[in-house]
Amino acid sequence: MSTSPNPRKSLATVLEIANLLKENRTFVFLIDNQANDSVCGPDISELPNVVYIGPVMDREIFASYYRSVSIFLYPSIHGFSPNVILEAMASGLPIITEDSGGNREMIRKKSINGGVVLKKKSPVFAVQTVLENIDCS
């Protein structure tokens, strides 16, 4: 899930990962509120494994989306300790995020590891790492 129309929220990263995984029907990316992204918004409908769910304002509906996914991808490079990471973790989701604004510290505390940090050169590696090391069932 990814949630902002702001280009600095890195929709391009989500779509890059979706494109790399488009042949693997296991991965479906839910995107809300980013169709207006000036750079990548029009690309949302081009990928078969990306579903645009539109803006979600109802907390219960948003919570149902958290319960329906296996991984929470938050690639923003300008989010500073975003609540959505805490909400996703509270829902039991492993997190894939950028190393910005305290995100690394939010997902890793001493011996607890709630996710992985994206590497620009190999973003799919983060997905692979989560799938190999965290129970996503």
Cβ–Cβ < 8 Å for 127, 68: no
| Rounded Cα–Cα distance for residues 93 and 68 (Å) | 10
Percentage of the chain surpassing pLDDT 70?
A: 85
Q: Which domains does the chain have, with CATH numbers?
A: 7-133 (3.40.50.2000)
Whether residue 3 is predicted with pLDDT greater than 50 in this model: the reply is no
**Per-residue pLDDT, 64:** 93
CA-angle at 12, arms to 40 and 53, nearest 5°: 65
Least confident piece of the model among 1-10, 11-20, 31-40: 1-10
| Rounded Cα–Cα distance for residues 89 and 107 (Å) | 8
Which is nearest to 37 in space by CA: 72, 10, 1?
10
Mean pLDDT of 84-97: 91
- Categorize the per-residue pLDDT at 137 as very low, low, confident or very high, splitting at 50, 70 and 90: low
pLDDT, tens digit, 9 for 90 and up, residues 100-132: 888 989 998 888 788 888 887 777 788 888 777
Cβ–Cβ < 8 Å for 22, 48: yes
**Per-residue pLDDT, 42:** 76
**Per-residue pLDDT, 123:** 77
Mean pLDDT of 65-89: 86
How far apart, in Å, do the first and last CA atoms of the chain sit? 17
Whether residue 41 is predicted with pLDDT greater than 60 in this model: the reply is yes
Mean pLDDT of 44-70: 89
Mean pLDDT of 84-88: 90
